[in-house]
Amino acid sequence: MAEKINSTVNTQSEATVELGELVLRLKDLLLVQEERIA
C-alpha cells in the first residue's frame, strides 16, 4: 500500500515539474511575441 501511495506522489510531483516547465516556455513565447510587436 505504501509503495502505491509513494508512486502516486512521485507521479504528481513529476507532473508539477512538467507544468512548471511548460509555464516557463509559455512566458518565454509571450515575451518574444511582445518584443516583435513593440
| Structural domain boundaries in the chain | 1-38
What value does the mean pLDDT take over residues 14-34?
A: 95
Helices and strands per DSSP (H, E), number in the chain: 1, 0
Q: What is the dihedral of CA 6, 7, 12, 13, to 10 degrees?
A: 70
Q: What is the pLDDT of residue 3?
A: 87
Identify the residue whose cell numbers are 518574444.
Answer: 32
- CA–chain centroid gap for 12, Å, is 11
Instruction: Decide: pTM greater than 0.85.
Output: no
- Give the model confidence (pLDDT) of 4-17 as tens digits: 888 988 899 999 99
For residue 1, is pLDDT > 80? no
What value does the mean pLDDT take over residues 12-32?
A: 95
